[in-house]
Amino acid sequence: MRQHSRARTSSQGTKRLNIVLIGNYEPDGQFSMLRYAEMLERLMRGAGHEAARVFPPVVFGRMRFLRGGAAKWARYADKYALGLPWLRWKCRRAEVVHVCDHSNSMYLWCAGRRPRLITCHDLLAVRSARGHVAGVKTGASGRMLQRWILRGLRRAEYIVCDSMSTEADVRELGGQRAVVNVVYLALNRKYFPEGKDAVGQALARFGVAADSRYLLHIGANVWYKNRLGAMQIFSRLKKMREFAAMKLLMAGSPWTEEMREFRRAEGLEDAIIETGIVTDDELRCLYSGAAALLFPSLQEGFGWPILEAQACGCPVITTNRGPMTEVAGEAAILLDDPRDAEQAARAIAEGWPKLAMLREAGFRNLDRFSEAKLAAAMSAAYQEVVERWGDTRSRSWSRAAD
């Protein structure tokens, strides 16, 4: 294929590729996905490749007077009616195209006849839309979109997953057509232990005394983050003498009314603090000052907060299932059932004397998720995609997947 003949050779003997990274629609505010594409662009350039991020155009999404369903459909028009041909044009000179988020699997079409791959971060929304999650309902348009996403993923030739848990989901729901590999993420921002002064100043902004002992939770209002469950676990902990003076700081999306009502009913207005969305600097300080991160997620695609906390010297409390165990390694207090608040509180109390050991283990665990390892793994994945594509001259890789 003509685009392969343009590949150059680096001093390490590997092909230098022109990589186009298709990122998410920016007005959607999916910051972790945007940062993932940004990190890959930086790392691939550092590895000697040409790399550039491209995004769906923002046209109808600029119409600020649109609200509700009208705003949603305006964004759909940008992402699909305009986005598909726009991104295909942007990929015209690429030697390999990487769709950086599985929720944009339909953008694989934009690569044309060029080598392409896609990262699957999780299939939680797909499972919800298929009725696999009790009590979670997805609207008609959402179900249609998730079917489209899954259909695109099933047509992929090469899929990179963040974790073995996500890989298992892909193999179950996506079939065996694609080559599927696991490439662990790295931290997409600088995280390190902050000093007491910086922590105290950050806490003051949220009306919390500098000498307060607190647990930290961070997350959005999606079912698998189990935010109400985190409050229930903390409420049980507060009944134990050792935790009676403890606070819980909750960063992230504004609370639901159910969460506010729980805090009122439990009389925890002074103990559970809603910080709202925080800056990177504030989050680093909150991690650094916390006694531990309370992260009782029901499911995750990866679980970035686990690594962020460990990088700041914050011990981790999380769920005893993948991918949380996969990411945390041996450096966490594990909860067998985060929906059982009483049992979870007892597990935390039993593991509490090990916090200093877990802190040091967390620092060591970070070596598994370095930028250097991510860069090497992704560079190898791009090379493999190009080589396989050139060998087969076909988009059917079922034999390679076996």
Domain layout of the chain by residue ranges: 2-186+371-401, 196-367
CB 21 within 8 A of CB 53: yes
Report domain 196-367's class. Answer: alpha beta
- Residues across the chain: 402
State whether residue 184 is helix, strand or coil: coil
Q: Do domains 2-186+371-401 and 196-367 have the same CATH topology?
A: yes
Do strands 214-219 and 247-252 pair parallel, antiparallel, or not at all (unpaired)? parallel
Instruction: Please name the fold of domain 2-186+371-401.
Output: Rossmann fold (3.40.50)
Beta strands in 221-331 (DSSP E): 247-252, 272-276, 292-295, 316-319
CB 102 within 8 A of CB 173: no
Q: Which residues make Cβ contacts (< 8 Å) with residue 402, sequence separation at least 6?
A: 176
Q: What is the sign, positive or negative, of the torsion defined by CA atoms of 318, 319, 320, 321?
A: negative
Look up residue 223 and give its DSSP letter.
Answer: G
In order along its 402 residues, the chain shows pLDDT tens digits of 333 334 455 444 568 999 999 999 999 888 889 999 999 999 999 999 999 999 999 999 888 777 777 888 888 899 999 999 999 999 999 999 999 999 999 999 999 999 999 999 999 888 888 888 777 788 888 889 899 999 999 999 999 999 999 999 999 887 667 899 999 999 888 899 999 999 999 999 999 999 999 999 999 988 899 999 999 999 999 999 999 999 999 999 999 999 999 999 999 999 999 999 999 999 999 999 999 999 999 999 899 999 999 999 999 999 999 999 999 999 999 999 999 999 999 999 999 999 999 999 999 999 999 999 999 999 999 999 999 887 655 444 444 433
